[in-house]
Amino acid sequence: MSGIDLFFKTAIDYERTHQLALLTILKETSLPSLLYPFIGEIKVDWEPERGLFDLAVSDAETTLYFELKMWSTLTENQRNRQIAFLKSNNSTCNYVLLGSTWFEFSEEKIHRESEKRAKKIGYEELEKLLNTLLTERGYSPDVYDLILAYRNALVDQFERQLDGWQSQVQGRWFYYALYYQIQKKLSGINSEIYTVNNAGGPVYILFDCSSMKTFEIDGISGGIYFELVNSHLCIKFHTDATDDGKYKLRDRLRKTVHEVLGCQYAIMDKGRIGKYMTACQIDHDFSDINNLNSSIELYQDIHQRFQAVYDHFTA
């Protein structure tokens, strides 16, 4: 094992490692031209625009920005600030999303939210770019060694990440990888994976985006939806109503779920008072990987029958 291999093997799980590797490869190879048709001499900048982005490549007319994320969430506030900058400066950005953020943002979501000014580069896209560089001639041996070692470390990290659902430790790696296994087999369902940090600690969510449905009942407005919360499928609602109004809505939703779904599933009444409240759960352990196929079938079935839950709830 060479020194650069050892370095990446040791430090690949740090965001700064990727930032330094990409900075060097952007400077020393044709990677910029694989990403954008730059004209003439280019320069590469570290944390440009007062740190608004992580890297940038520019020629006399154009700047392409890069934002790199691994374990920290790409927040809505950060995205809004960056997209506002891109729009006002007629620029574009590549979001290099690795680690847990690779699961959290699809190419379609990045494209849509940025109004087509940004794209996602994940593990597969980055590996393909590095493989292209390895076929090109003219670089020094050190540059080839860097590209190869970085490519190999990326592939290894990605494989470990996808295998996280087989871990015995039920943390973020486990749930994100498990949700991804479910997500990629859900036909025609738009879903998102993310973390919510509560007072009692983080919880990991697989959210069915199309399940969110708004209501107005007896002058109280809100929405109902369902999502996986760690190992449980929870049917939930949100509202700004008074506590008394929330209890009435919770009882109404529980009654609805028992009537619509109770003939097929065991329903457990759960949930504390709050703005976003669980009314009940389906009695099924999604963390049991031996039941992965039945978990996928259950999720798909609830997705298909949730309109009936909503219609009954609002009738």
Q: Which tokens sit at 141?
A: 């041996």
Contacts of 309 (CB under 8 A, 6+ apart): 224, 235, 256, 257, 260, 261
Q: What are the tokens at 144?
A: 């080839």
pTM, two decimal places: 0.89
265-306 pLDDT, tens digit each? 999 998 887 788 999 999 999 999 888 999 999 999 999 999
Rounded Cα distance between 286 and 68, Å, is: 31
Tell me the pLDDT tens digit for each residue of 190-222.
899 999 888 778 999 999 988 999 999 988 999
CA separation for the pair 280, 121 (Å, rounded): 38
Block residue for tokens 């006399």: 60
- Report H helices in the chain: 3-11, 15-28, 31-35, 48-51, 76-88, 99-104, 107-113, 123-135, 141-162, 172-183, 243-261, 292-314
Paired residues of 265 in beta bridges: none
Strand partners, 213: 224
Of the listed ranges 183-197, 252-266, 295-309, the least confidently predicted one is 183-197
